[in-house]
Amino acid sequence: MSFLSGLGQLILGFAVFFVCLSVHEAAHAWMANRLGDPTSKFDGRLSLNPFRHIDLFGTILLPLFLIISSLPAFGYAKPVMVNINNFRKPSRDNFLTALAGPAANLILAVIFGLVISLLPALSFLTILVEVNIILAIFNLLPIPPLDGSKVWHLILDDETYLSLERYGPFILIAFIFFAGSVFDYIFTIDFTITSFLTNLF
């Protein structure tokens, strides 16, 4: 029974993760389109359909491997393609497009948190608050290729920034495996914000 219960929680966790990740990626596409770059729109990413955003390795296999290995769970969707040459102010608009994803997750977290606070019977939705906050905080870290790394495009010249992005995946993998204590802080912040939002009234 405990195995089935654990399996059910895992499936629920993945379902919630897919939904929150889809909102995150669709927000990137929406902002890019608003700022003049329709690339993601033409790619079909301006959608809340999870299947348009799921990456077999990043969204399914990698999180499963990390969970089985008792490591901090992490995953990613297919990257939303952006052509910064279509932006009026490339570095600024690229940064705003990146921020749109975490911002969408924070908005969802606040909405669901307020709903739970007003209607405690819906406390089972707390996982939606937790996952959205985790996605927002983690993606705001200034580590390429995470969304927060786009802040470097406001500071560095294009060539240096693109070089940093090129090595992004290796930097991120190293961070995941060697900065475990950072995840403890992230989960603590997540728990604190979730408790605050779901117990306002």
Q: Which of 179, 104, 184, 188 is nearest to 140 (CA)?
A: 104
- pTM for this predicted structure: 0.88
Spatial separation of the C-alpha atoms in residues 75 and 143, rounded to whole Å:
15
Q: Which of 25, 130, 159, 165 is catalytic?
A: 25
Asked if 25 is an active-site residue, the reply is yes
**Annotated domain spans of the chain:** 2-198
Burial class (CB in 10 A: 0-12, 13-18, 19+), 157: exposed
Spatial separation of the C-alpha atoms in residues 119 and 108, rounded to whole Å:
16
- The pLDDT profile of the chain, 201 residues, written as one tens digit per residue, is 444 456 677 777 778 888 999 999 999 999 999 999 999 999 999 999 999 998 888 888 878 877 777 666 677 888 899 999 999 999 999 999 999 999 999 999 999 999 999 999 999 899 999 999 999 999 999 988 889 999 988 888 888 888 888 888 888 878 877 776 788 888 899 999 999 999 988
Spatial separation of the C-alpha atoms in residues 56 and 68, rounded to whole Å:
17
